Structure 1
Amino acid sequence: MKRIGLIAGAMALAGCAGVALAQSAAGIDDETEAAAERQGGPLPMPQPVTMAQRPNATGGEALYVEYCAMCHTANGMGTGLLARRRDDALLEERGDLAAAFVVVAARNGIGNMPAIPRGEVSDADLQAIGEYLAAGPHEVTP
């Protein structure tokens, strides 16, 4: 999907259509998109995924939303950067992640992702997040 590079080029070439493409790829729903088209303006920024959108999340999923979603859901910077290298950039939609890989990648950093110190996310919480992602792919609705 290599979305981000394509989106930047599309925005430069197509003006408003590029904005619609970029925000559609970032998780804007069809109703919001249609309303913005009727008004002739740009689409609003998508809302971040928080526990308000997933009130029933528990365990690793709740920890993922708390610590990781700001970068790794549809409108997050980490997902956009990962989309340059992978077609399945949303971590929750992947079925090829091992819990140990998630823990090592988060603890040490990987690519543009900084290392996450134990003072921010405990070993037990990070293990729960890794196990949640390893059990994927998950069908989630923000």
Structure 2
Amino acid sequence: MRILTATSFVAASLALSACSGGEAEQAATGGPPPMPQPVTMAQRPDATGGEALYVEFCAMCHAPNGMGTGLIARRADVSLLEERDDLTVELVVLSARNGIGNMPAIPRGEVSDEQLQQIAEYLAAGPHGGAQ
């Protein structure tokens, strides 16, 4: 039995991925699609107000590649917060401050009341075309 060292394992993995032909071939042969790119301000430079705050504080979990979308999908038809049309300001604030499901409570030291209000108003006005 041959034991791979970390270096040889990485080299073997790189060689295997190089032989596979990359993402384009994977998609053409029915492989899984590539992971979505994270949503950042670099992708949405014109975002202001609640949208900019959402990208800064919430998108890491609630954008297409975030863990929160999979958890929401278990109990809601639309898992991306920016695509939902059933959010109210009160629900967003309450959920953020108290936590909901696996989402921890967001303290005022992390997101101020004013910032959270702007985020909640932005989401409650959805669905938004900025959702990726």
Give the direction of change, closer, same or farther, for the CA distance of 1:138–1:42 in structure 2 (3 Å limit). closer
Equivalent residue, structure 2, for 1:53: 43
Residue correspondence of structure 1 range 94-113 to structure 2 within 5 A: 94-113=84-103
Give the direction of change, closer, same or farther, for the CA distance of 1:38–1:63 in structure 2 (3 Å limit). same
Larger Rg: 2
Equivalent residue, structure 1, for 2:119: 129
How far does residue 135 in structure 1 lie from its aligned partner after superposition?
0.5
Number of residue pairs matched by the alignment:
111
CA distance in 2, matches of 1:128, 1:82: 22
Q: Which letter maps to 1:128?
A: Q
Unaligned 5+ runs, structure 2: 1-21
TM-score by length of 2: 0.76
Moved over 3 A (4+): 32-36, 38-44
Equivalent residue, structure 2, for 1:118: 108
The counterpart of 2:82, out of the listed 92, 98, 102, is: 92
How far does residue 141 in structure 1 lie from its aligned partner after superposition?
4.8
Residue correspondence of structure 1 range 13-52 to structure 2 within 5 A: 34-38=24-28, 43-52=33-42
SS of corresponding position for 1:52:
coil
Cα deviations by residue, 1:65-89 (Å, 9 ceiling, x for unpaired): 0000000011110011100111111
Aligned Cα root-mean-square deviation (Å): 2.1
SS of corresponding position for 2:71:
helix
Instruction: Check whether the contact 2:83–2:131 (CA below 8 A) recurs between aligned residues.
Output: no
Instruction: Check whether the contact 2:40–2:55 (CA below 8 A) recurs between aligned residues.
Output: yes
Deviates more, 1:38-47 or 1:123-132: 38-47
TM-score by length of 1: 0.71
Q: Indicate yes or no: 2:53 matched with 1:63.
A: yes
